[in-house]
Chain A
C-alpha cells in the first residue's frame, strides 16, 4: 500500500468517526430541542426547526462556501492538488447544507408564513448558492483532465463568491415594495438561556458534521487518486 493510500484510509476512518459523532450529536440536539427547550410562545412547535435550519445556513454561508472559494484562490496561486481536493469536498458539503436549509425552510414557512415557498431574501440567496454549487459539480464532472478541472472550478468558485453580494443586493432591490413576510426571528440577546443553549449545540453539531463530511470526502478522493497513480505506474 502506498503512503497516499494508507493516509486516505486513515482519513476516511477519521471522517466516518466524526460523521457518526456528529449524527449522534444531531439526534441529541433534536431531543434537546423537543424535550428540554421551552416552546416558543408565538410560533409554537414549528420554531423547533430553527435549531437545525439556522446552524446549517450559517455553516454553509459563512464557513463551507467561503472556504471552497478561498481554497480555489489558493490553488490558483500554489497549484497544490490538496487544495483542490479540499475545495471539492467543501463544495459537496455546502450543497448538502444548502439542501438542508432549503428543505427545512418551507417546513417552517408553511405554518408561520402560510406558504411553502416565498422569495424571502435569505431563502432566495440560499437557492442561488444551491444552483451555483450544482453548476460547480456539473462542471467538475464534465472535465477529464485533473489540472483543467482544478483550475476551472477554482475560477468558478472565486467568481461565485464575488457574485454572492450582488445576488444579495439584487434580490433586495427586486423585492422593492412587495409586502415582506413578517419574520419572527428570535434575536440572540432576548433568547431564553435554554433556547440559546440548544441553538449553540446545533451550531457545534453542524460544524462537526461539516468536518466529518469534508474529511471523509477528502479521504475518498485521495484514495481514488492513489489508485489511479498506482495503475499508471
Chain B
C-alpha cells in the first residue's frame, strides 16, 4: 500500500513538475482483483518492480477489486490525469468497452493485459498482451500424447477433461485448443467426458471422484489449471488409482510443481505472472515508442514436464 501511494504521489509530483520529466512516460494500470489469488498478487509485485527498474517509466497502479464499476471509474481517473498509456486487466470483457473507447478517443492508447476484451471493442485497443490459451490447450494435448506414446498406450488410451469455470474465455479457449489438437497428434486416444471444476481444487476433486466411479479405466486427466489438476490427483490417490493416470494441467502452480517433483503429476504449461506483467509493461512502452506491435502480442508459455522441470524455477504462487 505504501509503495502504491508513493507511486501515485510521485506521479502527481512528476505531472506538476511538467517539463522537468518530459522524457518519462506515464503509464496507468487498472488491474482486475489483486489479492484474490496468488497469480494476480505476484503480477502486481512484478509489474511495480519492472516499472521501478525502468527510469523512463512512471506508473499509476490501481486495482478494481473485481468491481466493474470501480474499474470504469479508474479508467476515467486515468483519462483525467492524462497518462500516456493505459493498461487494463478487464474485470469483464464486455462492460469495460465504453471506458476503453473513451480512453482511445481521448488519444490514450489502451493495452489489454492477461484476458482480452470482447471483439467489438478491438477497434479501441492498441494491443493485447497475454498468454495464448488456445496454444496452451494444444501444448497440453501434445504433452499428454507424447507421454502415451512413451508408455505405448497411444492406441487405446482413454482420458477425461476437467475444465475451468463455464463461460470464461480462458476456460473455453484452453478446452478448444486441447480438443482440436489431441485428435491431430493422437487420433486413437478417446476423450470420454468433460466436466467443469470451476478453477476450484475441491470442486475438481469431487468431479474426479465421480469420474473414478463411472469409468473403470482412465489413463489421463487434462485439467484447465494445476489447482484443479492437483484436486483430481488427490481424488485418484484416495482411490488408489493415481499410479495408472497421467495428469496434465496448465498454469503451473507451486502445488503442481511439487507434485511433479514427487513424480505424481506429469506435466503442465509454465505461465509466469512475472512474464505476464513484464510483457504488458513492455508492450505499453513499445506502443508509446511508436514501434510496430502486433495486435495479439502473446508471451511464450512453454511446456513443463517431469523431464524438463529443472529448467524452471518453482512458481511462487
Note whether A and B form a binding pair. no
Residues of chain A whose beta carbon lies under 8 Å from any beta carbon of chain B: none
Give residues in B with beta carbon < 8 Å to A.
none
